[in-house]
Each structure stands twice: as C-alpha cells, then as structure tokens.
Amino acid sequence: MTNDPLLKVTGLRTHFSSEHGTVKAVDGVDFQIERGGILGVVGESGSGKSVTGLSILRLLGSRNATIAGGQILFHGEDLLTKSDREMREIRGKKISMVFQNAMTALDPFFRVGDQLVEVIRLHQRVGKREAKLKALEAMELVRIPEASRRLSSYPHQLSGGQRQRVMIALALSCGPDLLIADEPTTALDATVQKQIIDLLAEVNRELGTAILMITHDFGVVARLCRTVAVMYAGKIVESGEVARVLEKPEDPYTQKLLGSVLRMRSEVRRVSA
C-alpha cells in the first residue's frame, strides 16, 4: 500500500501534428516516483522532457498536441482518463508545476499576495483572512525576506530569484504531493540557482513533497535528485539511482552528456589548482 509509487508513468506517447507530419515528442516513456522521492529527467532541448512534464498535468493545449497513448497513474488512478474538472482539482492542489520563465510566470497586473490567495481559495474552503495567512506561510516557506511586505508587491517589483521563489510558493501553497519543476533554474544566476536547488531540497525534506525535476543540467541532478532518467528523442535511454548513473553510465548518450560535464569539472579543477 505505502509501497506503491506516487506517480507511475507507463508507455506515455505525446504527438504533435505539424505541416511536416506527426512529431513524436514523447515516444514510449516509463518511469516512476516514490512518495517523497526526487526524480530528475535530463536531456537536451527537443528531447521531450518538458512535454513529458506538461503531459502529466495535461497542460498541452489541444491545438496540435495529443496524448496518443500510455498510462499516468497517480495514487493509483490514471490521470489520462480524468475529466477536465477533475484535472483542475489536481492541478495546483495535488500536483503542482513551476516553469523556467519566472520573469513572466506571474500575472503582472495582480499583486503577488492576491495571486497566492486566489489559488489557495480555489482549492481550499477558507475565508479571505485565513487564506492570507496561508499565503504568508507559503512565502515564508520559500524564505522570501520581508514576506508580509512582499505580499502586496507586484511581480515586476521583485528580483528574478524572488519571483522564482514566489512561483514555488504558489505551487506549494496547497500542499501538493508532487512538484514538477521544468527547468526552474535555467534563467537564473549561478548563486541564485544554488539557492533555489537548496530550497527545493529543503522542501522535500521538511514537507515530503516529491519532485520531478526536468533539466538539461546534470549538475542540478547531481545536487538534488536521487533517481534520474535520461531522455533522448522522446525516449528514456537510461535510468536509475543518480549515484550509479554518474559513476557508471551504461548508455553512450548518457556518457556523452556526462562527458562534457566531467570534462568541464576537471578543467575547472586544473585551473584552480
């Protein structure tokens, strides 16, 4: 019972129709995340990793994308069979997602606090005052300085790192079981990147929130994740415990990906020696 994985994806296929024919962005992908686990999905751009994340929450927009097959079991229930309304109750509440574009992910016309309250009141039956308190809690959880003042700020009045934290606060405000993070650190400075990664690790430790980390950076995976799946052209070419994959990558593509990272690392070591 408690040994069942939180999320189990089997045979996921997501196709896009374009003027050049059908593009199989995700072509038969299997992975799972345990409760409180942290899985990293690594790949270069075009590998299908972001589409995988969006497919789980069915956020693809119906115009040319279709989920062509597979199963996404969350708490044992297949998300692909759920209605729109059921999905809306899951998004933001049971499974949340944060994106790369922290700069533009918040509505510039509403105060930060109001956006938090909106999502909180959407998923929980609480009054305005209680919702505000929960919003404040969420802000403090992500360690935003002067959280209560920041609640009445507009997004453009915050720095990039702060906006990313607010996005995470928004995602965590209703206590989801799983957080999907799609390249959350790519657009940030190195120091801020580190802070956000540490924050995510802390959230996982303290709250037990599972994390699906989508990234192209193996360094992030090494810091944060326990298991990893390497994606290439819509398929997973290698997966397993992070420590093992880093030590002994079996797939040539993984080796190639790691190779550049390790080379960079050894160069840096040589320079600083």
Partner 1 sequence: MVGFLVRRLLSTVLVLIGVSILVFLIMQLVPGDPVRSMLGQAATAERVTEVRHQLGLDRPLIVQYLDWILGVLHGDLGQSLTLSQPVSSILFPKLGNTMILAGGSLLICLVIGVPLGMVAARRQYSVVDRGSMFVALGGASVPVYWAGLVIINIFALKLGWFPTSGMYDTRNPGGFEDVLVHLVLPSVAAAVVPTAVVARMARGSMVEALHADHVQMLRASGVPERLVIWKHTLRNILPPVVNIVGLQAGYLLGGVIFVEVVFNWPGLGGQLYTSITAGDMPMIQAGVLFIALVFVVVNLVTDVAVALLDPRTRKEA
The binding site for partner 1 (CB under 8 A) comprises: 57, 59, 88-93, 96-97, 99, 101, 104-110, 118-119, 122-123, 149, 152-154, 156-157, 167, 170-171
Task: Give the nearest distance from C-beta 152 to partner 1 in angstroms.
Answer: 8
Report CA 251 to chain centroid distance, whole Å: 25
Task: Determine the length of the chain.
Answer: 273
* Tokens coding 165: 């934290």
Task: Give the nearest distance from C-beta 6 to partner 1 in angstroms.
Answer: 18
Which of 123/132 has CB closer to partner 1?
Answer: 123
Report CA 201 to chain centroid distance, whole Å: 13
- Count other Cβ atoms within 10 Å, centred on residue 243: 12
Q: Are strands 65-74 and 7-18 parallel, antiparallel or unpaired?
A: antiparallel
Task: Give the nearest distance from C-beta 156 to partner 1 in angstroms.
Answer: 5
Task: Give the nearest distance from C-beta 247 to partner 1 in angstroms.
Answer: 35
Which residues fall within 8 angstroms of residue 131, CB to CB, at 6 or more apart? Answer: 117, 120, 121, 124
Task: Give the nearest distance from C-beta 124 to partner 1 in angstroms.
Answer: 11
Which of 184/249 has CB closer to partner 1?
Answer: 184
Strand ordering across the sheet containing 95-98: 95-98, 178-182, 210-215, 38-42, 227-232, 235-241
Element housing 261 (H / E): helix 252-272
Under a CB-based contact definition with an 8 Å cutoff, are residues 60 and 54 in contact? yes
How far lies 201's CA from each of 169, 224, 242, 244, in Å?
Answer: 14, 6, 15, 20
Which of 67/97 has CB closer to partner 1?
Answer: 97
Task: Give the nearest distance from C-beta 235 to partner 1 in angstroms.
Answer: 25
Which of 151/192 has CB closer to partner 1?
Answer: 151
Which of 74/99 has CB closer to partner 1?
Answer: 99
Which of 171/211 has CB closer to partner 1?
Answer: 171
